[in-house]
Structure 1
Amino acid sequence: MEVLSGGYDKKTVQKRWLTAVLLLYASLVAAQLTPHIYDDVDRLSATPSPVLLAQLETKEIQYASQAGNPEEYTALLILQCNMGYYYRESGMYPKAIALYEKAWQNYRDHGIRDYDITEFCLKPLGNLYTISGNLVRAENTIKSYLFLAQEQNDTEQETAAVLNLSVVYHNAGNFRMAIRLLETRLSASSSAPEQKTALLNNLATNYFALEQYDTAEQLLQKTSKKHPGTASSLYRNMAQLARAKGQLSQAENYLYTAENELLKQSFTARELARIYVEKAELASLGHQYAKAEDLLFRALGFLLPQHREHTLPAPEILYAENVFISVFDAMAALQSEPERSLECYDLSFHVSQLIRMRITTQESAILQLSDDRDRSEKCIALLYEMYRDKGAPSSMVRAFDYSENSKAAILKETGYRRSLTEAFPGAPLLPDIKKWSVRQEQVVNKLVRAQLSGDVKDSVKHYTESLNDIQLQLGTLYEKAYLKYPDMSGSGPKTSLNSIRQQLQEDDACMVVYFYGKQHRFTFSVSAHSVEMYREDNTAGADEMIREYLSLFENPHTINNNPSDYARKAHALYNNLFPFPVSGKNLIIVPDGLLSFIPFETLLTAKSGNVSYKAMPFLLYRHQVSYLTSASFYHRPPPPVTGKKLLGIFPVFEGTPEALPYSIEEARSIDALTEATIITGNNATRNFFTRNAKNYGILHLSTHASGGNFVVPPGIAFSDDMMLLHELYSMEFRPELVVLSACETGIGKLQKGEGPISMARAFQYAGAKRLLFSLWKVNDRATAQLMAFFYQHYESCGAAAANRKAKTDYLTDDKTPNTRKSPYYWGAFVYYGDLQQGEKPAPYYHFLIPAILIVVFAVILRYLSRRKTIR
């Protein structure tokens, strides 16, 4: 449904602008630079054109370098806002955003006060951020003028801010948050009739998104259709309701009315194009496919007036505009030829990447990538059908590429940017991006803490404004960097399936890669000898099976109370996840979706009626299991060792309800087995860790942790404080290994493609490439035993092998009773990372050459012995 922004109309802008210009022009005409700037403002207002705007871009830069007093900065501000306005009207959103950002920076840097910055800059800028998918920046910008409106007791602007903020929350999928915001505003103020209509409309839109259609319809019936600024959007929403009820003819009538209402007003190409996309969707539902395609090409024509043919445009002429994605996705669904559909989808991916080029926060990028993820599923499904029907291996390889491109995109991009910075330390832009990114995460951390602590509003306002400044800097840097380093918007150079297979042969390994979509789950089985692709269509049934299995690990008693139920479910899930034979010593799992929470080692490879856990046929016994967030991480070179010693953090929390008594035992074991610096009790502070972590090769944290919830982000505890997610994002280190001996360090909100937003992922983001972490609330005593076993083996065989041996040692330990050998106690810890040297089988020639030498030496000895006998 259509959500309304608290925007502005063209007449209001021109009227207010004219008043401001006349007053300022009369008082400042004597200034040297000011009259020239206002002359250009007048020219732009009189005859706006692309040619004039292009000329003014150069002049604006010159004016900015020459301005030196308040009058000149104010005149420049008015020019920048007007240029932003006309670029926005022309649909050139990146240029409009750039000009509004300059204006906002100018306003703040030079303390300009006699100008309505909210109306002429911040409102359009916030709306443009929303349109372009940069939702975090949109939220911060809108909050800036919300705070300003509240300070000035400007109820009209405050309502406008609430409207725009509700659009951001709606686009982010936070429908209930948007509803709370809108209902609070409706009950707290007597808004003007048009604003009240917009509030009700947005409220209806969010109830519609929650599929509460009756409530949405009742709200729309309360709205007035008389206000020109809201009428078109209201009729579009009524069309959506009619469509949901299957009333396609009525929906079509509403859309035609919406178009007519739009044409009565000042409108943009994207607004008209969106209506035509919705008309096309209706035509498609009515099986009028030719009509639907024609409507889509007309929508495309509004956005690309220079492209008038009924052909797909070249990627080079596209720009960052979400409506393009709607057009191409709809076109893809209409095609009868799979290759034609894939061509349309690829154009959507291209536009999505253009949009991401100015997104500077993980949160906004994840939301943008979520839509890409759904599109990837459709592409993989098309290629699977081609592979099944024609048996073409190339189709399977392409499907694998779509799967991998949709995974861990932000981690890949961060890692690639870090590797570029390290490879070219004197390269431009990248060090600055790193510096400002660190500042951004530090401020976000402070903002989150202020919100959680109920800190005074001034603190939240201060951090929000700081974020605005930082993100302005980052936006400019990102735009330049993407032009200089095109691969930065993805994972960098692509990893080929053939190179993965070669590495698998060296490692005697099999890789199983999952893609978990809405409709299907795809599985790729990759080995040195073959690549296979499988599809599971009953994802609802698979989801239920996975959730039932995960519920077994919610407490230590569930499995022990009914081992046979566990055995049945563990074997059934194994059969579901491995519909093919698995060979090789090493099994590398690339999970996805809910599978990110499954400890595969605990699955049973055969039926079992045994009540002795040691005797159960765990996958652990058959293969050495390790995990990766993306198959492309399999080829990463080993991280440089920052120090040979281990840093162990053991807060213990003695004398509190959170005490970890066996943590001291764990610390003693590790200290005896490795070269370690052990920090315990009150010395194990957050500040100590942040100052010293980068100096150690192994980081071991034995403490409490939390996967977070909808309010509190994931965090890990130190003796004095919790470290939250964003603080870890702001750090950077390159340890050989991170061991998170704590509860739920792999648990967090599940995001499509990126996986759980957990503390473990935060360590990956900060630079760790090898991690051992937990998937549920672990037992203190069992964890201490497992970690002791782990470090007994680590030096000789590496992390993956040591993790496996620790678990088998635990299972076969005669001192441990059978009830504590339940997989609840040992199965939580999973290893993510590459295989280290000790974990790989030695190449055959390492054995062959010594064998040949032994044989040759034996022959020589025999020959010499025979000669001696003859003598």
Structure 2
Amino acid sequence: MRTINLIIIVLYFLPIYIWPQNATLSTIDSLNKKAEQHYYYEKDSAYFYFDQVKEIAKEINSDSTLIESLFNTTGVASYHYDLRRISANLNQLDSLIYSTNDFNSDNSNILLYYKGDYHLKLLEYSKSRTAFEKIIKNYNSANAKSETLTSLASAAYSFLGKLYMIEGKYDNAKSLYRKNIRDIEKSENVDLEALTGNYNLLAEVLLKEKKYKEANAYLLKAYAYNKKEKNINSAITNAFHIAENYGHLLQKDSALLFLNDSKKLFINKPIFHPKYHLRKAQIHKNNWEYEIAIIEIDSAIGVIKENFEKQKNTDLEIAYNEKGLLENLLGFHDKALLNFDLALNESLNKIDKDPNTLKLFKNKAATLNLKENEESYQNTISVVSEATTFLNQVKPSFKNSVDKLFLIDNAYPIFESGIEASYNLYKLTKNNSYIDNAFQFAENSKSVLLLEALLSSQATQFASIPNKVLAREAQLKAEITHIEREITISENIENSIEDKLFHLNQELRNLIVDIEKKYPAYYNLKYNSKVLSLAEAQENLAENELLVSYFYGSQNIYTIAATKNKKHIESITTSDKLESDINNLHGLLSNPKSNLDSLSLLSHSLYKILLAPVLSNFTEEKLIIIPDGLLNYIPFESLVSNPEKNTYLIQDKTISYVNSVTLLSQLNGKKQVSTKLLAFAPSFNSTTPSDGTRSQVLGNLPHNRNEVQQILTSFTGKSFINDQATLQNFTAILSDYSVLHLATHAVFDDKNPEYSYLAFTPNTASDDLLFVKDLYNLTLNASLVTLSGCESGIGELKRGEGFLSLARGFFYSGAASITSTLWKINDNSSSDLMGNFYLNLADGKAKDESLREAKLTFLEKNKENGLSHPYWWSGYIIQGNTKPLLSSSKWHWILYCSIVILLLFLGRKRLVQLFK
């Protein structure tokens, strides 16, 4: 659900009219009445009269009248989606209300409501939630609760519930709706309309959780009320949802009963007839009655063509798509493809770019692959390429966790179909160009993955880009979306509306061009759809480097490997056992007490599946791995390559990681700056949670101070220890340093990636957790960021979302490379590893080589004791730019020795002449 249809038009009536007791009262009253006549129909006329009231208020120096007039124009602007006017009014109201110290009156809460509404229209859910939560806080703390505040609190609860549902926090949403229901039910005069509204909202959440029976318990109450009160449209909608739920519960008779009952309500409402047939088709489909379902869909198509010949009807593309899916189930793939094409034709001819079109591309591509011939695979590649172009066009509109789930459900299957077709064509023809196609689709999937990381972060501020630019960008997108939606559902389109849409699109294009020039990091994050081709990636590789890119699909894992002059592709069939083995390997690696023999056996088994087939074709010593899915949790250097000698891959190869080659190209383009080091070693009370937001207890790190002291023997810089290692100190000076070392907890939360964070010494005077969203507002000049002592909050393995989100935030803020751990490693062994890592860096070695040698040194030192277990050393990985921080000191020795040799052979005088 892209927007929230929960706007309660009550605030126009809420401001308290306090008029000056003089002749201006009648003038103001007259102007307001004139404005009211235009409130919903002609915004400019409404503005004209309300603005006259505003001028009178300034003349008579009446703040209350001025505030009231601004609220009225804000109401008009909200109704007509004039976001620029809303923003200007909110800024003025902020100044007025807070300058009078009017923090707790109805006016301040009305202002909060409009702020919540404004940010809701911009799809800035975090800011919207903050405003509505403040209203509820004010309501709960108020001694005397006015009627206005009570109404605002009730509306705020409903909005918050919707916001929580959008973010997938269903328990929070249900709790708020149930509270609203309880409050309404125990009031003296029960507002049945408000009660019914909350029944519907609660049912909507339950539907998201697929709790169909419980949802129907509330929908049945809403249906009874709406039917009794002759709220026909609402009653029909209730009946449709009830029927759908019975259909999911395989209670066919009850489902059809409610559908037929609803039919009596819309005899003269053609808009509902196709919806009726589509729902009936779904009920038969749920009962495996595919032919009957197709008959119902044909009825829906017939009704639409008969009644909506001159008007677009979104049900038509839905009908074609559903018919295509049914034809596939019956094995008629050519008929299915015909219907998907009809659906795509309807969808692509809309004025607005509807992201739901991706579903149609997904279905068509998957169907083409079912035909399993060379021509169909070629067609799949064309469809996926077209879908990729479309995705890049709509990508900037994605803004929240609902969009993230949509991308997972629709974008990834499209790329998987493209890679599957490319792989099969390569097997059929041995044409290497199909490896290039597969890589291009895989790289595009990584671009979507990085977009997901941004959506997970809930970032609202971005370093270096002014807030006014971000605000105008958001306003333009929201206004364009609103107008496009209005045009889609309107029978008669005025030329002025289309002209306005044209000018808004032109302004947005100009703004994006300006952003590209002035704020390239933000542009790359939000708008740049270009990804590197395989040929470009190969050109960027060194002679001894091997790139290994994984795509973890639902049916297969595809591995694309490339060196400067050679490329290869492999396919691995996924299975429950393979997924279980990856999970188990992570569990064994992250447990220092796990059985080493069991670990080695499983590790080698996965090595043979995941990497050995690729490495058998290449001899390069340096691996750059682009993991995907569950593979994000596996440090490949820990894989046992030779079970007889118990040799780990790290003993044969140098390994680094990155999210995509496109990102790697950007990171490699960063200039290495000075090597001033900033190190933090916070302290934690092991029995006290870090703050009220996160209940997790952070254990103390007794050896992190030693670690920091040790690395400062290799690099010059500054350290903050114990009580000084606060977040406030970190953000104050971090931009002055190029090497950042944080010997602290970095928690990767895959369930709620936005709650992934870095922890600093708790300080009651300020925050102590740096969340993912905060990283986007930092400005780093860091060649290397090391997160040492990380604590995995992963739990059930998913897609590595928390880990990716934290890394993406650091890369955006300016880090060229990140060293971190995949689980909590004992900080004593961390101290040892990190000491050698920085010693190697100071010697001019590359970052990946420095980390590898530190691990090998650790292994050699502990080969006869339990610390040889991979838990102690393999969790550290390096991502991104792996170039040396310093020029190698060996070159200084070579130059020195050359001069000595010249002195010996040429003599001092001839040497002086040589250098003249």
TM-score, length-normalised on structure 1? 0.69
Asked whether the equivalents of residues 70 and 89 of structure 2 are also in contact (C-alpha less than 8 Å), the reply is no
Q: Which residue of 1 aligns with 2:790?
A: 743
Write the mapping of 1:217-256 to structure 2, written as runs, cut at 5 A.
225-226=262-263, 227-228=265-266, 236-255=278-297
Asked whether the equivalents of residues 453 and 805 of structure 2 are also in contact (C-alpha less than 8 Å), the reply is no
Write the mapping of 1:271-670 to structure 2, written as runs, cut at 5 A.
271-289=315-333, 291-300=335-344, 302-303=346-347, 319-335=352-368, 337-361=376-400, 364=403, 367-368=406-407, 371-409=410-448, 411=450, 432-433=468-469, 481-482=511-512, 488=524, 489-491=526-528, 493-506=530-543, 508-558=544-594, 561=595, 563-578=596-611, 579-580=613-614, 581=616, 582-608=618-644, 616-636=646-666, 637-640=668-671, 644-653=675-684, 658-670=699-711
Distance in 1 (CA, whole Å) between partners of 2:275 and 2:334 is 27
1:793 aligns with 2:840: yes
Q: 1:62 to 1:668 in 2, by over 3 A?
A: same
Distance in 2 (CA, whole Å) between partners of 1:847 and 1:664 is 34
Aligned partner (choices 773, 796, 815) of residue 768 of structure 1: 815
1:38 to partner: Cα distance: 4.4
**Aligned sequence identity (%):** 20
Distance in 1 (CA, whole Å) between partners of 2:718 and 2:242 is 57
Asked whether the equivalents of residues 662 and 784 of structure 1 are also in contact (C-alpha less than 8 Å), the reply is yes
Asked whether the equivalents of residues 33 and 72 of structure 1 are also in contact (C-alpha less than 8 Å), the reply is no
Q: Deviations over 1:311-362 (max 9, x none)?
A: xxxxxx8631134333444444454533333333333333333333333457
Q: Which residue of 2 aligns with 1:91?
A: none
Gaps of 5+ in 1: 17-25, 43-55, 85-98, 306-316, 416-423, 440-473, 611-615, 865-871
Distance in 2 (CA, whole Å) between partners of 1:480 and 1:166 is 43
Distance in 2 (CA, whole Å) between partners of 1:482 and 1:619 is 46
1:672 aligns with 2:713: yes
Distance in 2 (CA, whole Å) between partners of 1:716 and 1:666 is 18
Distance in 2 (CA, whole Å) between partners of 1:682 and 1:771 is 25
Q: 1:64 to 1:188 in 2, by over 3 A?
A: same
Asked whether the equivalents of residues 360 and 475 of structure 1 are also in contact (C-alpha less than 8 Å), the reply is no
Opposite residue 354 of structure 2, the aligned amino acid is E
Aligned partner (choices 682, 685, 693) of residue 723 of structure 2: 682
Q: After the TM superposition, which of the residue ranges 795-804 and 659-668 deviates more from structure 2?
A: 659-668
Q: 1:659 to 1:284 in 2, by over 3 A?
A: closer
1:526 to partner: Cα distance: 0.5
Distance in 2 (CA, whole Å) between partners of 1:832 and 1:346 is 29
Q: 1:738 to 1:847 in 2, by over 3 A?
A: closer
Distance in 1 (CA, whole Å) between partners of 2:791 and 2:534 is 33
SS of the equivalent of 2:550 reads strand
Aligned partner (choices 136, 146, 149) of residue 158 of structure 2: 146
Distance in 2 (CA, whole Å) between partners of 1:64 and 1:281 is 55
Q: 1:358 to 1:384 in 2, by over 3 A?
A: same
Q: Which has the higher contact order (CA 8 A, sep 6+)?
A: 1
Q: Which residue of 2 aligns with 1:734?
A: 781
Distance in 2 (CA, whole Å) between partners of 1:831 and 1:234 is 56
What count of residue pairs does the alignment treat as equivalent? 736
Asked whether the equivalents of residues 745 and 759 of structure 1 are also in contact (C-alpha less than 8 Å), the reply is no
Aligned partner (choices 794, 799, 807) of residue 855 of structure 2: 807
Q: 1:362 to 1:63 in 2, by over 3 A?
A: farther
1:829 to partner: Cα distance: 0.5
Opposite residue 568 of structure 1, the aligned amino acid is L
Aligned partner (choices 209, 213, 217) of residue 175 of structure 1: 209
* CA-atom RMSD in angstroms: 5.7
Q: Which residue of 2 aligns with 1:444?
A: none
Opposite residue 503 of structure 1, the aligned amino acid is N
Opposite residue 146 of structure 1, the aligned amino acid is S
Q: 1:584 to 1:217 in 2, by over 3 A?
A: farther
1:511 to partner: Cα distance: 0.9
SS of the equivalent of 2:536 reads helix
Distance in 1 (CA, whole Å) between partners of 2:801 and 2:751 is 17
SS of the equivalent of 1:406 reads helix
Opposite residue 589 of structure 1, the aligned amino acid is I
Asked whether the equivalents of residues 656 and 878 of structure 2 are also in contact (C-alpha less than 8 Å), the reply is yes
1:371 to partner: Cα distance: 1.9
Q: After the TM superposition, which of the residue ranges 287-296 and 545-554 deviates more from structure 2?
A: 287-296
Q: 1:673 to 1:745 in 2, by over 3 A?
A: farther
Q: 1:539 to 1:731 in 2, by over 3 A?
A: farther
1:541 to partner: Cα distance: 3.8
Distance in 1 (CA, whole Å) between partners of 2:191 and 2:84 is 25
Q: Deviations over 1:237-285 (max 9, x none)?
A: 4533432442102323444566688899999621332123212322333
Asked whether the equivalents of residues 653 and 660 of structure 1 are also in contact (C-alpha less than 8 Å), the reply is yes
Aligned partner (choices 773, 777, 781) of residue 828 of structure 2: 781
Distance in 1 (CA, whole Å) between partners of 2:119 and 2:466 is 26
Opposite residue 854 of structure 2, the aligned amino acid is A
1:709 to partner: Cα distance: 5.7
Q: 1:159 to 1:355 in 2, by over 3 A?
A: farther
SS of the equivalent of 2:532 reads coil
Asked whether the equivalents of residues 772 and 832 of structure 1 are also in contact (C-alpha less than 8 Å), the reply is yes
Asked whether the equivalents of residues 246 and 254 of structure 2 are also in contact (C-alpha less than 8 Å), the reply is no
Asked whether the equivalents of residues 100 and 121 of structure 1 are also in contact (C-alpha less than 8 Å), the reply is no
Asked whether the equivalents of residues 523 and 535 of structure 1 are also in contact (C-alpha less than 8 Å), the reply is yes
SS of the equivalent of 2:647 reads coil
Distance in 1 (CA, whole Å) between partners of 2:335 and 2:294 is 13
1:476 to partner: Cα distance: 11
Opposite residue 587 of structure 2, the aligned amino acid is S
Q: After the TM superposition, which of the residue ranges 137-146 and 511-520 deviates more from structure 2?
A: 137-146
Distance in 2 (CA, whole Å) between partners of 1:125 and 1:298 is 37
SS of the equivalent of 2:703 reads helix
Q: Which residue of 2 aligns with 1:694?
A: 735
Asked whether the equivalents of residues 100 and 125 of structure 1 are also in contact (C-alpha less than 8 Å), the reply is no
Q: Which residue of 2 aligns with 1:453?
A: none
1:569 to partner: Cα distance: 1.4
Asked whether the equivalents of residues 757 and 769 of structure 2 are also in contact (C-alpha less than 8 Å), the reply is yes
Asked whether the equivalents of residues 653 and 719 of structure 1 are also in contact (C-alpha less than 8 Å), the reply is yes
Q: 1:379 to 1:200 in 2, by over 3 A?
A: same
